[in-house]
Structure 1
Amino acid sequence: MNTGTTQQPTGLGGPAAVATAIGAGLLAGGLTAFGQAWLPDALRSLANSSGSWSLLAFALALVARHRGGAALSGFAALACMLLGYVLVNEARGYPSSTGLVLFWTAAAVVAGPLLGAGAHLLRWSRGRAAIWGIGAISGVLVGEGAYGLLHIADTTYPPYWWGEIVVGVLLLLAAHAWRFRRWSTTATAALLTAAVAAAFVLAYSNGGTLMQLL
């Protein structure tokens, strides 16, 4: 089984990939600020979900030709989503707290490059090297879905969180068909997904406390 990196036929160079991530990130962040007020109850969690931002950052990094550009694209996307969100809310008269800005900046610094590099591995690698890519994004989606059902189901729309879990599982199955082919590799990716999901629930459960301390 080939576990190395395959030949990279197409994709954006580093500057173009990062520029795309910056533009899309700013737009998505600004739309998030409006979405929190305008979306119906069944969809409002979409504008309060780190899973949706993470999935967009992951998708934007997929177009990068090189792993470094993909990692930087992941960071740029998340950082600019935060910037767009803060700027639009500021213009609307809803300033963001210092704790919120610092917490999500730290998340962009840590999670952004991991999601970006993971997207590159998933697209260009086969076998076990690619499990890190799908494990990262599926873990975030499953983890946030689990957190939503465990902690905020009474104040939000529970089917949204179930949907996020389903999307995470479907992405894992898609990676099996596209990259892994062997169920033993997919099982390893599922274990990594579970580990990331558990870490996400733990971090998110203490996120409010951390933001108050910052």
Structure 2
Amino acid sequence: MRERADLLMPFLALLLGAVVGALTSVLQTGLDFPWLALVNAVSPWLTTAFVAGALQSRLRTAVWTGLLATLVQVVAYYAVAELRGYDASVYYLVFWSLCAVVGGPVFGGVGHAWRHASPAGPGAAALPAAFLSEAVVTYWIVLGYRSSAVLFGAVAVVLAVSLGAYRHQYRPMLRWIGPALLAGLAGTAGLALLV
């Protein structure tokens, strides 16, 4: 039974990536700020890789599934955009593919670490740090979209509380939140230079 589940979980993660990518394309034309930021940012897409990795029983599979789930998001997003009559920008296709190649494996791995608490803390800290980094750098400093920054900060707090509750990871998460936040701030600042 466990072997069947191990085979099924990567396919569920890829399906999740396809659904999130397609929904992102559709919702971008129907939402307004601050909600629009949730379908126009990196950290929500990293959430898919995190969930994909958390569904896996092995770290190696979690890393690969995180990568594949984020790449499928990119493909699904641009496929749906094309079907809806929106031309794909080659620059942004490359940009989002780069985000998938770098962020997908990392967040697939930390999703696995969070669920299996091995080691405890980094998995619970990574996703809140990603949202908080994007709140500060992208939405507060670069774009000046205060309402989106507050929304992403609130999501970061909710994620920290809920992810830390799993297997009582609050204390290890607090040890990792500083390094995770520094990495997130550096990554988000680097992305801001590319856009």
Query: TM-score, normalization: structure 1?
Result: 0.80
Work out whether 1:149 is the aligned partner of 2:140: yes
**Partner amino acid, structure 1, of 2:126:** A
Which residue number corresponds to residue 201 of structure 1? 188
Unaligned 5+ segments in structure 2 are none
The C-alpha deviation readout for 1:133-156, integer Å capped at 9, x for no partner, is 123212211111112111112xx4
Q: How far, CA to CA, are the matches of 1:10 and 1:190 in structure 2?
A: 35
- The answer to whether the 8 A contact 2:121-2:169 is kept is no
Q: How far, CA to CA, are the matches of 1:186 and 1:41 in structure 2?
A: 30
Which residue number corresponds to residue 97 of structure 2? 105
Residue 115 of structure 1: how far off its partner (Å): 0.4
Which residue number corresponds to residue 164 of structure 1? 152
Following TM superposition, the consecutive aligned residue runs of length 4 or more in structure 1 with deviations greater than 4 angstroms are none
- The answer to whether the 8 A contact 2:129-2:181 is kept is yes
Work out whether 1:120 is the aligned partner of 2:112: yes
Q: How far, CA to CA, are the matches of 2:37 and 2:112 in structure 1?
A: 28
Q: Sort the Cα spacing of 1:36 and 1:177 in 2 relative to 1 into closer, same or farther, 3 A.
A: closer
Q: How far, CA to CA, are the matches of 1:98 and 1:28 in structure 2?
A: 21
Which residue number corresponds to residue 212 of structure 1? none
Residue 84 of structure 1: how far off its partner (Å): 0.6
Work out whether 1:67 is the aligned partner of 2:59: yes
Residue pairs, 1:1-214, within 5 angstroms: 12-13=5-6, 15-125=7-117, 129-146=119-136, 147-153=138-144, 156=145, 158-179=146-167, 183=171, 185-208=172-195
Choose 1 or 2 for highest CA Rg.
1
**Partner amino acid, structure 2, of 1:199:** A
Q: CA RMSD in A?
A: 2.3
Query: TM-score, normalization: structure 2?
Result: 0.87
Q: How far, CA to CA, are the matches of 1:82 and 1:132 in structure 2?
A: 26
Identity in percent:
22
Q: Sort the Cα spacing of 1:62 and 1:131 in 2 relative to 1 into closer, same or farther, 3 A.
A: same
Aligned residues: 193
**Partner amino acid, structure 2, of 1:45:** A
